[in-house]
Structure 1
Amino acid sequence: MPLQTDSLGTAIGESLTLHSTLCRREAGAFQNAIRSGEEVLVACTQERRLFSELAEQTEGAVSPLRFVNIRETAGWSSEAPRATPKIAALIAAARLPEPEPVATVPFHSTGHLLILGPLDAAERAAALFGEDFSITLFATGPGDAGGMQERRYPVLAGRITRLHGWLGAFELSWQADNPISLDVCTRCNACVQACPEGAIGLDYQIDMALCRSHRDCVKACQVAGAIDFQRPLQTQTECFDLVLDLRSSAATPTFNQHAPPQGYLRWDGRDLAALLALRALVGDFEKPRFITYEQKICAHSRNGAVGCRACLDVCSAEAIASDPKHQRVEVNPHLCVGCGACTTVCPTGAMAYRAPGIADQGLRLRTVLTHYVAAGGRDAVLVLHSQERGLALVEELGRAAQLGVAKGLPASCIPLGLWHTASTGIELWLSALAWGAARVVLVVTEEEAPQYLEVLQQQADVVEAMVTGLGYPAGAVQLLHCKAHTDLDAGLQALLGSRRAAIARPARFAAAPEKRSTLEMALDHLLALAPLVPAGATAIELPAPGAPLGEVLVNKDRCTLCLSCVSACPAGALLDNPQLPQLRFIEKNCVQCGLCETTCPEDAIGLHARLSLSPDRAQARVLNEMPPYVCIRCGTPFGTLKAIEGMLGKLAGHAMFQGEALERLKMCGDCRVIDLYSSSNERKVIDL
């Protein structure tokens, strides 16, 4: 690596000494450093294990130890001599304090394993597991050669009615609908030989479509008594810790979502690495509770009406369900894989990512961009990638560049790993642009669920509409589809072929914990520095669906000012006026969830996705108003003229609303009671 220690030291504010063999002959320098008590950052991930072991073996080692990769990400590149600002930025990000720990979700697995599939294949798979596993087989057919003669494992069979759960808590329900009980069967094969139709296979189950009820099998099985055609149909249930499914996905709908639950593996019989991962899932485990949910601002449902379904539709693990009774959604933390896509598409921030949260993610992005510029870098490109396949592509590209068969990451491209690429959205992308990023590139690979790609592209299109509408150059947020490191290499080179300059004056705000607050701060800065807004433009049109900003349109001819929409709005965008019959609207608060539209009984509301350029977008404006209807008895306003007249017109022909009854509808509630009571007393006097 052409590491420029003087320039780098100036950039990070410390004098540096270059160690070319720190993990070998110069290991003593490392040991001295970790005895100092100050935090030690090792700029090499290749020898992470070696340095960690050396720290454990060093007497008096008290320094916290961290690692950062500046080799594949910066030093192994055709632009390595110009990569000092990027290295300074990566080091600054690595030195940030760890985010506050989040709550965890526990799992407990004792190794009770269920294997589903043809009997012969299931028994061969079972033989690959050791004594730490308690194995049960569920036979779905004999397979090519049938099962082993020796019965080594309990075998179940029948028609599966349900399989659900997660690591340590799977539940299988099935109907034992076959005359042969596998608990009793000794596999003597007498029934197989006796059946004239060949209806009994080597999974020791009867194909009832072939059976002609000769009952020769019953006679052959008299000693064991395993065959009973009169056995009542029963549903049985058993719990397991792990599930190995040998069936083809086309044969069963079980766990066909993109992200199956932990502890469940669909196996083709070839990839032993996947099988080893299942073998490791015995014991006690925990994972972060990635998502928090705030019902108060959720736009899913109100008053029995359903509006936003974004989180439900995007979840690849089927971990989110609608709870119509309590008008909310529920996140199953045991099924959640932490992709964060639900938080990305949530317009209100009711779904919030916490591992790390928006404030911590924003601090990392802002730190990187600030130090990059301070070290002399220009037009930074943030390359956001996943911690698994995305990270592997970055490292493969660096190695290819070191060998001279690729260009590697350009000096302006700063790679940052995320738990998952879908865990950031429009609020952080716009903030990154406001903090001085020229571009945000999302590296997406074959590990992404199709719905992730769709919503990420929708969000990128929204950003594109905003920035180009404000006069900024196009191409602010780009999705880069990569199957191999060569795609990453070519894609980044192509993007940089069309230069996009960063904002002239980077923002200084810090990301807030709330999504909408962060989004508004980013928009305010970009609006303030907008290079070119068309003369007379009052708003920028945004693509829908996906846009979390816009206005509510009201058909005044239909609207009766019943204000159902006000009670349904989760964001405080629609308001009433206690003094006058008015429907008011604050556009800044609107999240375009659609609850007002689905709630309106008059079908008078529509949505319009846009970014308002008006300075009054945070002020309430009147969408509809009408004269009040006053009580004919006391003169008190108690409704709108249009609503009361509409009601009178509809009830005028009803038998129960004639004469005095119809007149009472023109009174306020108090006067209606007084009039009804007075009329009742008058009738009593007349009767007397």
Structure 2
Amino acid sequence: MSTQFKICSCNNTMPLDDSFAAGLKQALGSTALTLSDTLCRREVGTYLAAIKGTDDVVVACTQERALFSELAQQSVAPLRFVNIRETAGWSKEAKFALPKMAALLAAAALPDPEPVATVSYRSGGNLLIIGGAQHALPWAKRLAAQLDVNVLLTDGISGGERLGDRSFPVFSGNKIAISGYLGAFKVEWQQANPIDLESCTRCNACVEVCPENAIDFSYQIDLSKCGNHLDCVKACGAIGAIDFDRVAKSRKSEFDLVLDLSLKPLLTMSQPPQGYFAPGKDLDSQFDAVLRMTQMVGEFEKPKFFTYKEKLCAHSRSGKTGCNACIDVCSTAAISSLGDKVVVNPNLCAGCGACTTVCPSGAMSYAYLRPADQGLRIKTMLSAYAKAGGKAAALLFHSKEAGAELLQQSGQGAAKNGPGLPARVIPVDLHHSASLGMELWMAALAFGATNIAVLMTDEEAAEYREAVQKQMDVAQAILTGLGYAGKHFQLIHADSVAQMESALFAMSAAQIPAVPALFNVAAEKRGTLDFALAHLSKHAPVKVDAIALPAGKGALYGEVKVNKDACTLCMSCVGACPASALIDNANAPQLRFIERNCVQCGLCEQTCPEQAIQLVPRLLLTEQASEARVLNEAQAFHCIKCQTPFATAKMMETMLLKLAGHGAFAGNLDRIKMCPDCRVIDMMKTNELSRPQ
């Protein structure tokens, strides 16, 4: 099955002609490519003819996606869309953008990846509105006909608003705690006001008798005015809604949606869970939140963005914490520690992928797209770019939301003397710009990209920018150490088109291997890094044995140094190592190390009872990295009964010195010198001799 490409110059606003079409055909290896000027209008017939077949169809227009999709409703041909207008054709360098267009078209023609697992939500529209009466009650009255509204008042200042008929439940309280997600929020609060709105009948008896006017029509007592004379309690009578000495203050309930109208959001993570909205005081933001909430009733699905392999995780061993990278970077609080492993709540996960970017071992990997699918996409783009004669390709990774909007504005701005995007910059959209890490960046350089730029706006949390920058620092240290000239990685933090364009045009092509790599991206992070580093090292301008990496966690590679004077060869570090970098020797008291396996998680350092271990971040490029080398060894101590070696002489010396003065062991030191089997036999004989005859 072949692919048909439908290219349109958009009423001749892009410099596309027959020579351009011929160049694209050559780069794409396809003759099924037609060039139009008004494909969505008078030339739509050529499009209709194309979709009647069974070939895939790529339409180089996203503006008229709705029209083309509607026309193709009865078609059996798979239909894909790609934007070459704002990203390539509308630019001051448009006449040089043929290679970029070829790259974008080639990527669009790739088959769809295998579907990923999904996460389900179910919402019945049970809404909790939190806030002061003057803000919460008006929205509650508007939404009561569409959703199952509940109100939690945080103050009694009604501002003219009063509680009317019981058309929706109203509670009051403070010390509010919220957990959960769309369809499964759990909310707890403290009943702080003497008037319990769940019991109050709103008969106004308390309002009438209060001499200080401390009770308004939100039926909450302003305690700063209250004289505590208890006339309101007497007036309430058998209803019992007013209690100044209430003991049972704790309240809790479950809701599907939460509208938080507090001045400061109750949930402070940078990416709150689905179904929680905190629009603040801005009325437009409140209207936007309410509109989105009304559409969140029913059953929903989203991709499960991650996969987790517990066996590779370097989080913890035996209660000692090593790597917290994924927990620290997660902006949704979706990842938490559970003993020696981490757990991810897929319903809270927003799909940023930063956890996979910072994970040193590859235990956490991104699934949307999977690494192999993303690698194929990048490799295809760069191959098509090179076939079309492109030089010094730069990849610009950006989000599909705010990042894509900046690119759109950049292309449109080119019509008003803006520069647009440089011809060598190939945009690559991601679900989230933090979801791609060093293994795919390095692979892209090996495939032929001279620069990797990651565009972030204020849409992304600050912790993502910090995490990506640290990864870039490590990656750049490796490239610089190999002798490749220039700056290969750039994090662009921009919230305006001008900032983005200025950074992109200032970016200079860095040095890369003259020969592009042929490997395919592996499913495992370390496997892809091995392939990429092997290619980059083979063609490096400078041959080096090792490269020092930035200090601190996140280095991904490094050696372990052992203080032989302090080390007792207890092998605690071997049991703690999740990557089999530290190993023992079944035939001799030796501590050995395979540097290629080390992820610099620090578990060995944390576990060592003698504090004899030090981590040194570096990338070893010699064959020694894959070999087991001895870090420490000692003379074996043999059992005094059977002569079997079972410990080190140094360990035995240390143990005997520590236990010699202990009352429980002072008379049995010889038994400590025995192997486990002989020790048991000796204990049984002693017990038998001491048994009364």
Query: Which category describes the TM-score, using the shorter chain as reference length?
Result: over 0.9
Range 167-176 or range 41-50, more displaced: 167-176
Is 1:547 the counterpart of 2:564 in the alignment?
no
Alignment map for 1:145-544 (pairs within 5 Å)? 145-148=159-162, 150-151=164-165, 152-187=167-202, 189-208=204-223, 210-222=225-237, 226-229=241-244, 231-249=246-264, 254-267=266-279, 268=281, 269-271=283-285, 272-324=287-339, 327-404=340-417, 406-495=418-507, 498-533=508-543, 538-544=546-552
Shift of 1:457: 0.6
Provide the residue aligned with 1:89 in structure 2: 103
- The answer to whether residue 680 in structure 2 is matched with residue 665 in structure 1 is no
1:563 corresponds to? 571
What corresponds to 2:71 in structure 1? Answer: 54
Partners of 1:499 and 1:167 in 2: CA distance: 46
* Number of residue pairs matched by the alignment: 672
Contact 2:434 2:464 in 1 (8 A): yes
For 1:100, the equivalent position in structure 2 comes to 114
Offset at residue 184 of structure 1 (A): 4.1
Work out whether residues 540 and 613 of structure 1, in 8 Å CA contact, stay in contact via their aligned partners in 2. Answer: no
Contact 1:311/1:342 (CA < 8 Å) preserved in 2? yes
Displacement of 1:434 in angstroms is: 0.8
One-letter identity of the residue aligned with 1:243: V
CA 1:229/1:541 → structure 2, altered by over 3 Å: closer, same or farther? closer
- Please report how far the alpha carbon of residue 447 of structure 1 lies from its aligned counterpart in structure 2 after TM superposition: 0.8
- Counterpart AA for 1:519: L
The partner residue of 1:21 within 32, 35, 38 is 38
Decide whether aligned partners of structure 1 residues 13 and 679 sit closer, same or farther in structure 2, where only a CA change above 3 A counts: closer
Where in structure 2 are there 5+ consecutive unaligned residues? 1-13
Letter in 2 for 1:290: F
Task: Name the amino acid aligned to 2:660.
Answer: A
Residues in 1 aligned to 2:170 and 2:475: alpha-carbon distance in whole angstroms: 56
Tell me the amino acid that sits aligned with residue 573 of structure 2. Answer: C
Corresponding residue for 1:38? 55
SS in 2 for 1:138: strand
Per-residue Cα deviation, 1:165-197 (whole angstroms, up to 9, x for no partner): 110111222233433232343445443343233
Task: Identify which range, 201-210 or 422-431, moves more after superposition.
Answer: 201-210
Q: Is the 8 A contact 1:258 1:449 kept in 2?
A: yes
- Looking at structure 2, the residues matched to 681 and 124 of structure 1 have their Cα atoms a distance apart, in angstroms, of 86
| The one of 21, 24, 37 aligned to 1:5 | 21
Alpha carbons 1:438, 1:502 under 8 Å: kept? yes
SS of 1:135's partner is: strand
| Conserved? CA contact 1:179–1:228, under 8 Å | yes
* Conserved? CA contact 1:552–1:607, under 8 Å: yes
Show CA shifts across 1:225-249 (max 9, x none): 6434455424232211111010011
Matches within 5 A, 1:626-645: 626-645=634-653
622, 626, 638: which is aligned to 1:618? 626
Counterpart of 1:617 in 2: which secondary structure?
helix
| Contact preservation (8 Å) 2:443, 2:528 | yes
1:213 Cα deviation after fit = 2.3
Aligned-partner residue type, residue 256 of structure 2: D
Between 206-215 and 614-623, the greater mean CA deviation after superposition: 206-215
Aligned AA for 1:474?
Answer: G
**Conserved? CA contact 2:125–2:147, under 8 Å:** yes
Give the stretch that moved more between structures: 594-603 or 221-230: 221-230
Give the Cα separation in 1 of the matches to 2:359 and 2:546. Answer: 26
Return the alpha-carbon distance in structure 2 between the equivalents of residues 612 and 97 of structure 1.
38
Whole-Å Cα distance in 2 between the matches of residues 506 and 647 of structure 1? 58
Offset of residue 502 of structure 1: 3.5
CA contact (8 A) 1:542 1:611 kept: no
Displacement, 1:97?
1.2
Identity among equivalent positions (%) equals 51
Report the AA paired with residue 565 of structure 1. Answer: C
Task: Report the residue type matching 1:203 in the other structure.
Answer: S
Deviation, 1:355, is 1.0
8 Å CA contact 1:438, 1:503 repeated in 2: no
The aligned amino acid for 2:490 is: Q
| Residue identity matched to 2:45 | G
Distance 2:35 2:687 in 1: 101
Q: Indicate conservation of the 8 Å contact 2:118/2:303, yes or no.
A: yes
1:497-534 deviations in Å (ceiling 9; x for gaps): x3324321111100000111111111111111110246
The whole-number CA distance in structure 2 between the counterparts of 1:184 and 1:648 is 72
In 2: Cα distance, 1:346 partner to 1:244 partner: 34
Q: What are structure 1's unaligned runs of at least 5 residues?
A: none
TM-score (norm 2): 0.93
